[in-house]
Every structure is written in C-alpha cells, then in structure tokens.
Amino acid sequence: MVSRRKFCTIFGATCVSVAAPVYSKTPGFLRNAGDIRLLRLKNNKTSESIKLVYWIEGSYVSEAVKEISYFMRDWRENKIITYDVANVDIIAATQALLDTNETMQLLSGYRTAATNKRLSYSNSGVARNSYHIKGMAADLRLANRSVSQISRAAKACRSGGVGSYSNSGFVHIDCGPVRSWKR
C-alpha cells in the first residue's frame, strides 16, 4: 500500500504542469496552502455537485480541471470552455478562510455571450463584458455565512474582483483585476 505522501510525491514528480508560472505568481495564502487544494460546489439548477482535489503538490490535476470546467459550464446552453484555474484557486481559498464544511452554491459560472445578453435584459447588474463570458467568474452563496462574511474572505485573498449582492444573497468572485463593489 502506498501512503498519501508517497502517492503525492510520485504523482507530483510524474506530472507536467503547464500552470506552474501561474502558481508561482499566486499570493502567499495559496503558495503556503499545503499539499492539496479542494473545491466543494453545488449547482441547485442542475442538481450537480463536485467535491474534488484539483491541485496536488504544485500541479493542477488535469482531469479535475476538466471536471470543474464541465461543472462551471453555461447550463442554459450546455456550452463548456476551460474554466480559469486562477478563479478556482480564489474560490477554494475563500472557502478555506470561511472555515466551513458547507458546500458553496454556484449560481452562475461560465456564461456564453448570448446567455449574458439575455440575463442583462432582466438584470441591470449584468456587465456587458462580464468575466463570466471568459470563464473567469462565479456567483456563489453559502447558507451558513452572510454575503458580508463571504465577501470579506474573498477580499482577503487580494486577487481579482469581489462583488457583494446583498439583496440577491450572493457574492461575485472573479480573477480579473483587484477591485470590489456592492449592489
């Protein structure tokens, strides 16, 4: 039987990670995050959920990244793109900072331009050039944490954009420029 440490060592030594340059630029909270990174999400619209390790000792797990991309797809049109792992890192770090075992609810991940345009007709808060269209954003909520708590944790990551939508009960997290807003 192979120990977890041995498995991670073997796996890490045999994997070639194209994301290594991204990893080297991540903030300290991720560089020192440990041997693995875990993501827990549920999409109430599709009833799908994921709980998976997507990063092990310096390398993204390609099959896990594919699964995340599928999970984050535009379910309205069933369109998939490769979801940006930088945003996955911010979401996972936010979850870790919130110190909860609760699974985050995904309201919106990747959106096609057509879906984004349709949503903008009924909601003035939908940006024309949304990071959702680029696979770089997610709208999330937790039942046991407030919008303010989630927003503070996401801002503590010092990466990307954080939008607090208190009336709608969710937080927007993206891996674009560092900024924040409230609606």
For 71, the domain range is 4-182
Q: How many domains does the chain have?
A: 1
pLDDT at site 9: 41
pLDDT at site 163: 96
pLDDT at site 123: 75
**pLDDT by 10s per residue, the chain, length 183:** 444 444 344 344 333 333 333 333 445 555 545 589 999 999 989 999 999 999 998 899 999 999 999 999 999 999 999 999 999 999 999 999 999 989 999 999 999 999 988 887 777 677 778 999 999 999 999 999 999 999 999 999 999 999 999 999 999 999 999 999 998
- The CATH number of residue 21's host domain is 3.30.1380.10
Positive or negative torsion for Cα 143, 94, 105, 169: positive
pLDDT at site 10: 39
In this prediction the pTM is 0.81
pLDDT at site 19: 36
pLDDT at site 149: 97
Query: What gap in Å lies between CA 47 and CA 150, rounded to an integer?
Result: 22
pLDDT at site 11: 41
Q: What does the CA dihedral 103, 107, 108, 114 come to, rounded to 10 degrees?
A: 160
DSSP three-state, residue 161: strand
Q: What does the CA dihedral 158, 161, 162, 167 come to, rounded to 10 degrees?
A: 170
Positive or negative torsion for Cα 78, 81, 87, 92: positive
pLDDT at site 176: 96
pLDDT at site 1: 47
pLDDT at site 110: 97
64 contacts 97 by C-beta, under 8 angstroms: no
- The closest of 32, 76, 82 to 58, measured between CA atoms, is 32
